[in-house]
C-alpha cells in the first residue's frame, strides 16, 4: 500500500470515528428502589444549587449504609448502594441543568453528570439523591414520593472535564478531513 493510500485510509478512519453513531434513546426510571439511589436528606433548606451541592457531598461522606444522621439540622440517610469513589458534586459550570415547574419529572443525562438531586414538597420534606455517573439517555423520576410532590430536580457535575458534545466531535472530524486533503494534494 502506498504512503498516499495509507494516509488517506488513516484520515478517513479517524474522521469516521469522530462522528457519533446514532443510538436509540434509553429511558431510565429512578426511584428509591433503583440501584443508583444513594439516600435522602430531610429538612433540605435552603435549596440553592450551592446548598444542594453541600447536601450531596455530606450524604456521600456518610458510611454506607447509615442513618439517620443529623448534621447542621439536616437528617441524612445513606443507602448501601455504591457510587464508587464518589467524586465531589459541584453545581458550578456549564453542566448545571435543572427541572422546575413542580412536576417536570423527565430529563436527559447527557454525559459527564454525576448526581441527580430531586427535591420534594419545598421546605416541608426531603431531597432524594441518585448517582448517575456513566449513564446517558433520558430519565424519569417520581412526581410524588411518600405523598409529597416534586418541587424541582438538579443535575450535578463532578470536578472533572466533560465529554465533548457530538457536534464538536463532528466538526473536529471534518477539520481532520480538510487537513488530510491538503496533505494528499501536497504530496501528490
Cell of 46: 435552603
Number of CB atoms found within 10 A of residue 37's CB: 17
Average confidence (pLDDT) over 144-154: 87
Helix (H) or strand (E) holding 78: strand 74-78
pLDDT bracket for residue 19 (50, 70, 90): very low
The confidence score (pLDDT) of residue 96 equals: 47
**What residue ranges do the domains of the chain occupy?**
24-163
Tens of pLDDT, residue by residue over 46-67, are 888 889 999 999 999 999 999 8
**Highest mean pLDDT: which of 73-77, 91-95, 144-148?**
73-77
Percent of the chain with pLDDT over 90: 31
The confidence score (pLDDT) of residue 68 equals: 94
User: Higher pLDDT residue, 107 or 4?
Assistant: 107
Cβ pair 141, 116 in contact under 8 A? yes
Cβ pair 88, 159 in contact under 8 A? yes
Q: Structure pTM?
A: 0.68
> What totals of helices (H) and strands (E) does the chain contain, helices first?
3, 12
Amino acid at each position: 500500500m502506498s504512503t498516499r493510500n495509507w494516509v488517506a485510509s488513516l484520515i478517513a478512519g479517524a474522521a469516521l470515528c469522530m462522528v457519533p453513531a446514532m443510538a436509540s434513546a434509553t429511558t431510565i426510571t429512578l426511584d428509591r428502589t433503583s440501584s443508583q439511589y444513594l439516600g435522602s436528606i430531610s429538612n433540605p433548606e435552603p435549596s440553592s444549587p450551592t446548598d444542594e451541592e453541600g447536601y450531596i457531598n455530606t450524604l456521600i461522606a456518610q458510611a454506607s449504609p447509615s442513618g439517620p444522621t443529623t448534621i447542621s439540622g439536616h437528617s441524612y440517610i445513606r443507602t448501601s448502594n455504591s457510587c464508587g469513589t464518589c467524586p465531589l458534586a459541584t453545581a458550578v459550570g456549564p453542566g448545571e441543568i435543572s427541572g422546575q415547574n413542580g412536576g417536570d419529572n423527565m430529563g436527559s443525562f447527557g454525559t459527564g453528570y454525576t448526581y441527580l438531586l430531586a427535591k420534594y414538597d419545598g421546605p416541608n420534606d426531603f431531597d432524594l439523591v441518585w448517582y448517575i455517573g456513566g449513564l446517558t439517555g433520558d430519565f424519569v423520576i417520581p412526581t410524588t414520593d411518600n405523598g409529597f410532590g416534586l418541587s424541582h430536580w438538579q443535575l450535578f457535575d463532578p470536578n472533572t472535564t466533560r465529554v465533548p458534545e457530538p457536534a464538536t466531535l463532528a466538526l473536529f472530524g471534518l477539520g481532520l478531513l480538510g487537513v488530510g486533503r491538503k496533505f494528499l494534494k501536497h504530496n501528490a
